[in-house]
Structure 1
Amino acid sequence: MGIERNWAGNLAYRASSVVHPTSADEVRDALAAGGPVRVLGTRHCFNDIADTAGTQLVLDRMPAVIEVSEQRDAVTVSGALRYGDIAPVLEAHGLALANLASLPHISVAGAVTTGTHGSGDAIGTLASAVRGLTLLTASGEIRRLRRGDADFAGAVVGLGALGVVLDVTLDVEPAYAVAQHVYDHPGWDAILADLDAVTGAGTSVSLFSNWQRTDAADLLWVKQRVPEERAGERAALAGALGAVPADGERHPILGVDPVACTEQRGVPGAWFERLPHFRLAFTPSAGAEIQSEYLVPRSDAVAAIEAVRSLADRIAPLLFVNEIRTMRADDLWLSMAHERDAVALHFTWKPDEQAVRALLPDLEAALPASARPHWGKVFTLDGAEVRSRYPRWDDFAALRARYDPERRFVNEYVERLGL
């Protein structure tokens, strides 16, 4: 029986067959059968990027590989492994990744190929940690790409359109500890008066709001590497924002039990137990939900937030929570942070897709024209408009044509983007 729906339940898959290969040879066999094909990861995408009327390949039965380099500066992992699977192994080696997404439940290959990210002014997207990857193309050819190779910057965030990602090599560093501090109700006017100071208040900073009120956000969430050398500055900033330290654990969605969240209140913990918002053992976020996200250059961030605030009366009834966070620029062609430090506006919507899709065109029109939608989330911008926001788009289109000339990995999603 096939995999019927995505993780959040808002999308029904149409695949005529689902194959769980256990080796690269079995992946080749599945590709040799012909017809359209897409690879399905942990099903955390909210649109049809992984959908197909042909064959879905699910790599969850492939051998689990986690190999630390002799130099202890990189780890090669099976593409289907989740970040939550590899993090404890790295910790046991005294190593860590520079960042993690808000939930550790997502696969490495799926996160990388969609440009998914964590947060931090000085930290890039998860894809920016990739120093190598191995692709198996539709013709059965193995392509090993390394940072600095001609095709590398185009292939990392590849939208699943180039081939099957068998393994990924990631930069690692010595393990470190992180502490989380949460503050209630920072004022929006003070935040927007110096957004750089707010997002620079910690290693990773998030602002959460359900937009039920427009004078203050719900939460300021600061993750800081230990030792905390700027604790006094952080506390002073929170006071200037009119925020007060949370008197207990918080969930990003107000009123939801925080049992699923990683420990807060300044208690230090291993990097992988603090950088995500949610624990691996629990269903993250709201569960049944829809997500959209738009990334703008830092220079347009205040205008973007003000645009959201101006639509608060329409957004709030459909919204669980809006999260705002940052990431460093990179050189990956289809990264949402390509060539610019980015500020992400993430929306976790209530599971009413018809109403959300009716609102999104107005939200997208209100945002600066620099906003790039997250590849794995719901957006309504047409393909031509999306393409225009990526200066290396034509280069990626040529890369896709070389790697998959028979268009085996092209689906309706890819076609809407003009590929």
Structure 2
Amino acid sequence: MTERNWAGNYSYQASRIARPRTLGELQELVAGSTAIRALGSRHSFNDIADTTGTLAVLDGLDSGLSVDTGDMTVTVSGGIRYGTLAAELQRRGFALHNLASLPHISVAGAVATATHGSGDANGNLATAVAGLELVTADGSILTARRGDADFDGMVVGLGALGIVSRVTLDIEPAFDVAQSVFEDLSWEQVLENFDQVTSSAYSVSLFTDWSGPTLGHAWLKNRTDAEPAGAGMDSFFGGVPATQARHPLPGVSGSNCTQQLGMPGPWSDRLAHFRMEFTPSKGDELQSEYLIPREHAVDALRTLRRLSSVVTPLLLIGEIRTIAADTLWLSPNYGRDGIGLHFTWRPDQPAVQPVLRMLEAELAPFAARPHWGKLFDADAAAIAPLYPRFSEFTALADRMDPAGKFRNDFLTRSVFGY
């Protein structure tokens, strides 16, 4: 089999790919397999989704989208893409609290790895999960809801507990967002006023290559029902308003990015950076991200600026985002408000890998937790002390999957090998 991930840097080792069309078929597939994992949108940059056995692709399952206006939740198949879900919710007058940069990713995969958007008060996408339906190792169905025992351990489950067949998410009334981009912010002003910068909009993303006295872009996404649109601002911490649509990468057309220039529109067309109808790039890139406690934000940013001579030559772009604390056991924001330090690397993994080791050593004093779905060097022995409930998660996995049907090399290396 020659199936590869989105970036093309990883070839799956599974013996076959199966596409169940019904929940019953998925149950039979899991029950009859000795090794199985779910494969989502393939936007992981490591081997987290792989297995030596069967990869189950769930995009053929009926989305079964169901809105409960009493509980203000939506229930969908785990294989649905966020962009598809967002468009349908908007059509019905509802919204999710946030979206990641890409709307192309699957709900179950993004939740399982604690993928996030940005915003001081916004938890990652997994914090919206109110309920889960899992196909467990024997093919039976387990349902769990927020407040149940071990629920907070199940949500960011890394695929180790079963295959998530359906997800129930919190929703709210639809809202409009106006997105404005400012260019060439002063690093000095950003570092001196970091809290003001990130609290300036519902969602703020900062793009940089870490070199020089200026920071490339600030993308401000303002909810028009609660905050001024920001389009009339003539400066932002030394930055000036962009006069045309921008892409995070220098010199690349902003045509496949969501609407900018302060023009209000539906949350579903603004909270992500990229438009659903376009593939945002050719995939020829690598990604890493480290989540840092909020109190260390400025020191961590200064550290990365100091390392720019090593980082910048391998970098396509970096991004800084903020994420609110949560209670999900393996969420990189468990118990702490934080910032995400994202790196989009040039497609040269042999050169990137030693830089990751260096970065992790430099960021270790800040208790940096790596994003589960991206490239990192740390093993379970290094990661386990960063999570207060790590051993509870491994014990939960041992109970739910005693034969290790859902385990793989990634989980052995990064979770169970400490």
If the TM-score is normalised by the length of the shorter chain, which range does it land in?
over 0.9
Confirm or deny that 1:362 pairs with 2:358: yes
Is 1:223 the counterpart of 2:221? The answer is yes
Deviations 1:356-388 (CA, angstroms, capped at 9, x unpaired): 102111111111341100000000012111111
- Asked if the contact 1:66/1:77 (under 8 Å) is kept, the reply is yes
The one of 225, 236, 239 equivalent to 1:243 is: 239
2:46, 2:375 within 8 Å by CA — same for their partners in 1?
yes
* Distance apart, 1:28 and its partner CA: 2.0
Deviation at 1:147?
Answer: 0.3
In structure 1, the partner of 2:319 is 323
**Closer/same/farther in 2, CA of residues 233 and 40 from structure 1, 3 Å limit:** closer
- Structure 1's consecutive aligned runs of 4 or more residues displaced over 3 angstroms after TM superposition are 227-236
RMSD: 1.5
What is the CA–CA distance in structure 2 between the aligned matches of 1:318 and 1:104, rounded to whole Å? 26
Counterpart in 2 of 1:350? 346
Corresponding residue for 2:372?
Answer: 375
The answer (yes or no) to whether the contact 1:103–1:278 under 8 Å persists in 2 is: yes
* Local SS of the residue matching 2:201: coil
1:410 corresponds to which residue?
A: 407
The separation in 2 between residues aligned to 1:31 and 1:227, in whole angstroms, is 46
Per-residue deviation, 1:417: 2.2
Contact 1:3 1:13 in 2 (8 A): yes
Q: 1:183 to 1:399 in 2, by over 3 A?
A: same
Aligned to 1:120: 119
2: CA distance, partners of 1:286 / 1:174 = 35
Q: Distance in 2 between matches of 1:232 and 1:417?
A: 43
Q: For 1:185, what is the secondary structure of its paired residue? A: strand
The residue aligned with 1:13 is: 12
Match of 2:93 in 1: 94
Q: Using the TM superposition, give the Cα deviation of residue 30 of structure 1 relative to its aligned residue in structure 2, in angstroms.
A: 1.5
**Which segment is superposed worse, 307-316 or 39-48?**
307-316
CA deviations 1:5-64 (Å, max 9, x no partner) are 001111100111111111122112212323211110010000000011111111111112
Count of residues in Structure 1 that have an aligned counterpart in Structure 2: 415
Cα distance in 2 for residues equivalent to 1:232 and 1:53: 51
Give the Cα separation in 1 of the matches to 2:59 and 2:157. Answer: 20
Q: Following the alignment from structure 1 to structure 2, what is the Cα–Cα distance between the partners of residues 126 and 28?
A: 26
Give the Cα–Cα distance (whole angstroms) in 1 for the partners of residues 100 and 311 of structure 2. 24
Write the letter of the residue equivalent to 1:47. Answer: N
Q: Is the Cα–Cα contact under 8 Å of residues 3 and 18 in structure 1 kept in the other structure?
A: no
Cα deviation 1:207-230 (Å, max 9, x = unaligned): 00123x331110011000014644
2:131 corresponding residue in structure 1:
132
1:169 equivalent in structure 2: 168
Contact 1:80 1:107 in 2 (8 A): yes
Q: Tell me whether 52-61 or 161-170 shows the greater mean CA deviation.
A: 52-61
* 2:249 counterpart residue number: 253
- Superposed counterparts of 1:38-187, under 5 Å: 38-71=37-70, 73-187=72-186
Tell me the CA shift for residue 235 of structure 1.
Answer: 3.2
Query: In structure 1, what is the equivalent of residue 258 of structure 2?
Result: 262
Conservation of the 8 A alpha-carbon contact between 1:278 and 1:285:
no
Q: Offset at 1:70?
A: 3.8
- Listed one character per residue, the Cα deviations across residues 51-95 of structure 1 (whole Å, up to 9, x for unaligned) are 111111111111121100141610001000001111111111110
TM-score, length-scaled by structure 2: 0.96
1:340 pairs with 2:339: no
Query: 8 Å contact 2:119–2:323 — kept in the other structure?
Result: yes
Q: Does the CA contact (< 8 Å) of 2:379 and 2:415 recur in 1?
A: no
What's the offset of the Cα at 1:3?
Answer: 6.2
| Superimposed CA distance per residue, residues 327-380 of structure 1 (whole angstroms, 9 cap, x where no aligned partner) | 111100001110111100000111111111021111111113411000000000
SS at the partner of 1:386? helix
CA change 1:286–1:227 in 2 (3 A) is farther
SS at match of 2:334: coil
Q: 1:414: Cα distance to partner?
A: 0.3
Change (3 A) 1:234 1:396: farther
Counterparts of 2:355 and 2:405, CA distance in 1:
34
Aligned residue type for 2:269: E
Aligned to 1:272: 268
User: TM-score scaled by structure 1?
Assistant: 0.96
1:292 corresponding residue in structure 2: 288
CA distance in 1, matches of 2:90, 2:228: 25
Q: For structure 1, which runs of at least 5 residues remain unmatched after alignment?
A: none
Q: Given residue 222 of structure 1, which amino acid in structure 2 is its aligned partner?
A: L
Equivalent residue in structure 1 for 2:389, among 383, 389, 392: 392
Confirm or deny: 8 A CA contact 2:201 2:227 kept in the other structure.
Answer: no
**What is the alpha-carbon distance in structure 2 between the residues aligned to residue 266 and residue 234 of structure 1?**
8
Letter in 1 for 2:398: A
Listed one character per residue, the Cα deviations across residues 261-293 of structure 1 (whole Å, up to 9, x for unaligned) are 011000011001000000011112452110000
Cα distance in structure 2, aligned partners of 1:62 and 1:196: 43
Structure 2: how far apart are the matches of 1:177 and 1:215? 34
Q: Secondary structure at the match of 2:215?
A: coil
Does the 8 Å CA contact 2:207/2:320 hold for their aligned counterparts?
yes
- Contact 1:178/1:268 (CA < 8 Å) preserved in 2? yes
Other-structure match for 2:192: 193
Note if contact 1:73-1:173 (Cα within 8 Å) is conserved in structure 2.
yes
Closer, same or farther: CA 285–194 of 1 in aligned 2, 3 Å: farther
In structure 1, the partner of 2:299 is 303
| 1:107–1:418 distance in 2 versus 1, CA, 3 Å | closer
Change (3 A) 1:128 1:234: farther
